[in-house]
Amino acid sequence: MSDDAVLYSTQGDVGIITINNPPVNALRNAVRTGIKDGVEKFVADPAVKAIVLIGGGRTFIAGADIKEFGKPPSGPDLNSVIATMENAPKPIVAALHGTALGGGLETAFGAHYRVIAPTGKVGLPEVHLGLLPGAGGTQRLPRLMGAKAALDAILSGAHISAGKAKATGIVDEIVEGDLLTEAVKYAHKLAADKAPLKKIRDKKATLESPVLFEETEKAIARKSRGFLAPFHIIKTVKAAVELPFDQGMKRERELFQELLTSSQSAAQRFYFFAEREAAKVKDVPSDTPMREIKAAGIIGAGTMGGGIAMNFANAGIPVTVLENDQAALDRGLKTIRTNYENTARRGGMKAEDVDKRMALITPTLSYDDLKNADIIIEAVFETMEVKEQVFKKLDQVAKPGAILATNTSGLDINQIASYTKRPQDVIGMHFFSPANVMKLLENVRGKATSKDVIATVMNLSKKIGKVPVLVGVCEGFVGNRMLRQRGVQASYLIEEGATPQQVDKVLYDFGFPMGPFAMSDLAGNDVGWRIRQGKKESQQSNTRYSGYVADAICEQGRFGQKTGKGWFLYNLPDRTPIPDPEVQKIIEETSKRLGIKRREISDQEILERTLYPMVNEGAKILEEGMAQRALDIDVIWVNGYGWPVYRGGPMFWADQIGVKKIYDALNKYHEQTGDAFWKPAPLLKKLAETGGTFASL
Ligand code: T1G
């Protein structure tokens, strides 16, 4: 018998099974047991002619309980629960609302009929966990909507609206009004009419094209490069088309087990919880009162400012954008409109929504128009002088209680806050370019930043579609500070004998979308060049200058894609990086000038020397309290820098390969080079010596 995770009741001759497992009615053991017992109980009860399965609270079942994976299985497995429903001699109606996802939708497939609330959604998002639907979803969905649509749905893991679910046969009816009342009426009528007990397993999965599976594999090759689950999903849908149901189920189970026990799924299941945990701030209680954000202001309509403004408009929050000259303002608004029009053209939004979003964005040349904003984010030129001017002005203009945020990518938030009489209202919100696309938002806590400002901004970040992580004030915050370590070694490696293409390929094959040199060409090599000219290597005072080759590249105007050549050549508009003998010459001349004898460098050495220093810097960041938890660093790297989610994140990965292995390698390079750069962080040393993990901190 289950605990009160499942409740039973009757209305007339209809038995009702209500899932009561907040917050999302996940299918933990007690829920599976409760459903199975409930069906058996109502089947045995002669007074009950039909059964309704419904979710209590805000949603129908949102899936298997991800926390249960990896633990010894207990209670009835989901397939047996679904079979019990499917074989029941009385009509079972699944009543869906909220998000019926994964094992939740698969459970609903065991019912003979499905009804849904107009705002309900369904989906099979297992692919995001490095899995595939493991309780018949890959065999039943193609039998409902055909192989092609089923493949698209399972590979994307997208939520499907009630309308589309009805149109594709996933549900039988969309019911207005009270879902339970309507579902009971519907079930009662099915029994009265002796309606057939429909079993999805008896239907045939249609195959729209004989080359569907090969074509799909090619179509996803680029986006799913390195992932296992998408390619296993294709195999299971193929089985749904080619094999009898029970054999297809067997094939699904085999492939599901392979994924469940894979390191990729372990990493992606870790990441699922990490992203949610990172949004929580240890010393800011979840019930901290938040400031209401009804209107926003952005200072600067450039690439960053415009992108930031779009996030607010996308969330339906009116936003005023301030520039100091009309031409810049017009350019900024035009770019925003173009971005929306391009998205609409690609089908990412309705054409009529372009004007609706633009109507939420008010351009202005006057600070006075920011006086009613609840939050003002500056995205102006990245110098402290300009930030000082802006924040002194904001201190005069912004209403009391307005949150004053800076989008700085590394300047000292405490110093910026000191330019106002309200440092408690000042916070950093470090967006990543393009700000309307990149999910990561590093929120930077100043010494004086108040807890309600932190709570408000962390919540607001999610509202505007970002993945927020709270970091501390240090040079480069967390992401760029670790990126710098990778960059220093990448530069040394090409001076010592590697080529840019070799370094890039090692990191590309690891799973990054591109390597550091191609990335620099994309961002513009002149960005780093200007910064290096503007300041000493303050971050790496304990290691030698790493910009010799990069400077030589820029001195020849090789700024990257925008100039058609940088570290690589580009036959624009094609952006494929092409190794350039000219660059090789510059590199070899630099090695000679530095007195470095070039040598063959292995891919393994490249991997260790680019990634282990990142882990070491992560350990320092944790020691200094610049990130709350190791998983925060992982969430930053997955969302801001393309760390492959199937490897969890740099700190998760370090635990997987073993902190001791990294520690020993750091010591090896330290001994080889004598460079203080390689000195292991005390925390990393401690973990290596005690067999500890970053996850255990
Ligand atoms: N298992 C365990 N906990 C879950 C959970 C799940 N499936 N889904 C959510 N939670 C927790 C979450 O960690 C958070 O906890 C709280 O619920 C609210 O979640 C056999 C193998 C449903 C759209 O992948 O997509 O079924 O932080 O903050 O923004 O084939 O949660 O409060 O402590 O995300 O309103 C397939 C995953 C599983 C759905 C709601 N299902 N969940 O979003 O709330 S595998 C999924 C979501 C499976 C079968 C296979 C979202 C949501 P805490 P939240 P939300």
Which ligand 1 atom is the nearest neighbour of the CA of 273? 13
Q: Which two tokens stand for residue 3?
A: 């605990």
Predicted confidence band at 532 (pLDDT cuts at 50, 70, 90)? Answer: confident
What would the pLDDT profile of 17-52 be if each residue is shown by its tens digit? 999 999 999 999 999 999 999 999 999 999 999 999
CATH 1.10.1040.50 assigned to domain 603-690? The reply is yes
| Local confidence band at 653 (pLDDT 50, 70, 90 cut-offs) | very high
Tell me the one-letter amino acid at 136.
Answer: G
319-347 average pLDDT score: 96
Q: State the distance from the centre of ligand 1 to the C-alpha of 62, rounded, in angstroms.
A: 6
Distance 487 CA to ligand 1 centre (A): 36
Q: CATH classification of 481-593 is 3.30.465.10, yes or no?
A: no
Distance, CA 456 to ligand 1 centroid (Å)?
23
pLDDT value for 524: 93
pLDDT, tens digit, 9 for 90 and up, residues 196-226: 999 999 999 999 999 999 999 999 999 999 9
The residue nearest atom 38 of ligand 1, judged by CA position, is 63
Residues 6 or more apart from 43 whose CB is under 8 A from it?
Answer: 51, 88, 89, 90
Exposure string over 407-432, b if 16+ CB within 10 A, otherwise e: bbbbbbbbebbbbbebbbbbbbbbbb
Domain ranges of the chain: 6-260, 296-471, 481-593, 603-690
Q: Distance (Å, rounded) from C-alpha 549 to C-alpha 594? A: 11
Please give the distance, rounded to the nearest whole angstrom, from the Cα atom of residue 530 to the centre of ligand 1: 45
Respond yes or no: is residue 496 known to be catalytic. no
The span from the CA of 653 to the CA of 597, in Å, is 33
pLDDT value at 139 more than 90: yes
Atom from ligand 1 closest to the CA of residue 277:
27
Among residues 264, 259, 227, 225, which one has the least CA distance to residue 648? 264
Per-residue pLDDT, averaged over 402-406, amounts to 98
Residue 187's identity, in one-letter code, is A
For a pLDDT cut of 90, what percent of the chain falls above it?
A: 94
130 lines ligand 1 (CB under 6 A): no
Largest CA distance in the chain: 92
pLDDT at 538 over 70: no
| Model confidence band, residue 6 (pLDDT cutoffs 50, 70, 90) | very high
Work out whether the CA dihedral 611, 612, 615, 620 comes out positive or negative. Answer: negative
423 Cβ closer than 6 Å to some ligand 1 atom:
no
pTM equals 0.95
Q: Which secondary structure element, helix H or strand E, spans residue 440, and what is its range?
A: strand 440-444
Atom of ligand 1 nearest to the CA of 64: 26
Label residue 536 by pLDDT band (50, 70, 90). Answer: low
Q: What is the mean pLDDT of the chain?
A: 96
Identify the pLDDT of residue 544.
87
462 CA closest ligand 1 atom index: 29
pLDDT, tens digit (0-9, with 9 covering 90-100), for 80-121: 999 999 999 999 999 999 999 999 999 999 999 999 999 999
Report the nearest atom of ligand 1 relative to the CA of 23: 17
Tell whether the model's pLDDT for residue 16 goes beyond 80. Answer: yes
Pocket test for ligand 1, best of 66, 79, 97, 107 (most atoms within 8 A of CB): 66
Answer whether 63 contacts ligand 1 (Cβ < 6 A). yes
Q: Is-same-fold flag (481-593; 603-690)? A: yes
pLDDT over 90 at 530, yes or no: no
Q: What gap in Å lies between CA 154 and CA 157, rounded to an integer?
A: 5
CATH number of the structural domain 296-471: 3.40.50.720
Instruction: Tell me which of 68, 86, 126, 589 is the catalytic residue.
Output: 126
Q: Is the pLDDT of residue 190 over 60?
A: yes
For residue 628, the CA-to-ligand 1 centroid distance in Å is 23
Distance 494 CA to ligand 1 centre (A): 45
What per-residue confidence (pLDDT) applies to 531?
A: 82
Q: Is the CB of 236 under 6 A from ligand 1?
A: no
Q: Is the CB of 319 under 6 A from ligand 1?
A: no
Angle between helices 603-623 and 500-510 (to 10 degrees): 70
Residue 252 has pLDDT above 80, yes or no: yes
CA 663 – CA 667 distance, rounded (Å):
6
Q: One of 40, 86, 106, 589 is an active-site residue; which one?
A: 106
pLDDT digits (tens, 9 = 90+) for 315-327: 999 999 999 999 9
Q: Residue 431's pLDDT is what?
A: 97
Mean pLDDT of 601-626: 98
126 is catalytic: yes
pLDDT at 540 over 80: no
Q: What is the CATH number of domain 6-260?
A: 3.90.226.10
Task: Please state the rounded mean pLDDT for residues 277-287.
Answer: 96
Hey, whose CA ends up nearest to atom 46 of ligand 1? 63
Stretch 604-628: mean pLDDT: 98
For a mutational test of ligand 1's pocket, the pick from 24, 128, 129, 252, i.e. the residue with the most ligand atoms closer than 8 A to its C-beta, is: 24
Give residue 541's pLDDT band: very low, low, confident or very high (50, 70, 90).
Answer: low
